[in-house]
A and B are shown apart, each in its own frame.
Chain A
Amino acid sequence: DIQMTQSPSSLSASVGDRVTITCRASQSIHTYLNWYQQKPGKAPKLLIYGASSLQSGVPSTFSGSGSGTEFTLTISSLQPEDFATYYCQQSHAMMWSFGQGTKVEIK
């Protein structure tokens, strides 16, 4: 199975900050990488698919990049509603797995 490792596990940031979260795969997954946002008590919400494609309705402050084994999610200017937990997910060969999550907290 492909293992996904996110870093950091948590971070504290202020409104307006630029935030970057990294996700590494244990083997190449090309660009079969998605990002989700989850708020407490809610189901996850898709942000980015195919490593860099922004889901419809998601603010352009979110962006994704990477290929192969290393990927990043960037929030260019953190907004109050962005404080949440973020997960990467790989879908290579239809065997799926998630990273352990990154909790973004208010500084």
Chain B
Amino acid sequence: EVQLVESGGGLIQPGGSLRLSCTASGFTFSSYWMHWVRQAPGKGLVWLSCMNADGSDTRYADSVRGRFTISRDNTKNTLYLQMSSPRAEDTALYYCASSLVGASFPHFVSWGQGTLVTVSS
């Protein structure tokens, strides 16, 4: 069974740092682009970042570029998101998701259930 399990969320103070993790199982992790998406309470989905299968290519949304860093460890089947200098508006449920390398029409094939990050003093 394909599973993506996020962890690491919690309460963080503005200006602090936090690292989210997403552990994958049930599929060949190293064959997939991996993504982070967030959803603020009562709001819509926002794509944040992605990384290709071998970690050589990363993309970021303007809203997090320079503050958040995506990384992965294919030996541990784990994706990470390092959050630096968080702001109150970064409060959200953070999902990881996967898309298959080489798909003709890229789309998210699997999602985790999310980890909640609250930025507050």
Closest residue of chain B to A43 (Cβ to Cβ) is B111
- Please report the C-alpha to C-alpha distance between residue A50 and residue B37 in the assembled complex, in whole angstroms: 20
B104 pairs with A97, CB closer than 8 A:
no
A87 at the B interface (CB under 8 A): yes
Q: Is the CB of B44 within 8 A of A50?
A: no
Complex CA gap A97/B99 in Å reads 14
Q: Are B44 and A87 in contact (CB under 8 A)?
A: yes
Contact in complex: A49, B105 (CB < 8 Å): yes
Say whether A43 contacts B105, CB under 8 Å.
Answer: no
Q: Are A96 and B45 in contact (CB under 8 A)?
A: no
In whole Å, how far is B75's beta carbon from the nearest beta carbon of chain A?
24
Contact B108 A101 (CB under 8 A): no
Interface residues of A (CB under 8 A from B): 1, 31-32, 34, 36, 38, 43-44, 46, 49-51, 53, 85, 87, 89, 91, 94-101
Nearest first, the 4 closest Cβ-Cβ pairs linking A and B are A50-B105, A43-B111, A49-B107, A91-B106
